[in-house]
Amino acid sequence: MSKGIFWFPCFAGTEGELIFTEEILACTIPETAAPNTHKDSWKAITAGRKDLRGISWNYFPRGRVEVSRGRALIFMNPEILNCDNALERIKEKFGIGHLDIRVRIDNSAHYQCTVLEDKENCSEGLGIYRADRKVKSARGQKSHRRR
């Protein structure tokens, strides 16, 4: 059982929908440890991941798990609700399935993600993290295949 932060990698489909991968990126920490931030943890989470190179810490929908007194409180971006089995995946990743779980959907600026800009534009060419394994740099440079 642990608390921590998480991201749900996804990309904007051609119809503007978010298409989630099977992955959940997480940084778990012991219940008694000091909180960490998404921004501060992103470098460690993406170390050695060429597929995530050039992607900002605030690109994907994200959230946080807090654990206290037999209860888990999950804060998350509302887009995560569109991901199949999102809550089950969070429970498994953080080992909190046996706790009383409360979910707080947070649509504030704190949990906003920039993948939604791709969703709003509904453009097939947009999106850094793509299912077809193409990457586009954050500066809009030409796409290339990952190796």
More confident of the two residues 64 and 141: 64
- Find the helix or strand (DSSP H, E) in which 7 lies: strand 3-7
Q: In this predicted structure, what is the pLDDT of residue 127?
A: 45
With a cut of 80, say whether residue 41 has pLDDT above it: yes
Q: In this predicted structure, what is the pLDDT of residue 91?
A: 94
Listed by start position, the domains of the chain span 3-142
With a cut of 70, say whether residue 84 has pLDDT above it: yes
Kindly state the percentage of the chain with pLDDT values over 90: 31
Query: The pTM is what?
Result: 0.74
Q: In this predicted structure, what is the pLDDT of residue 80?
A: 92
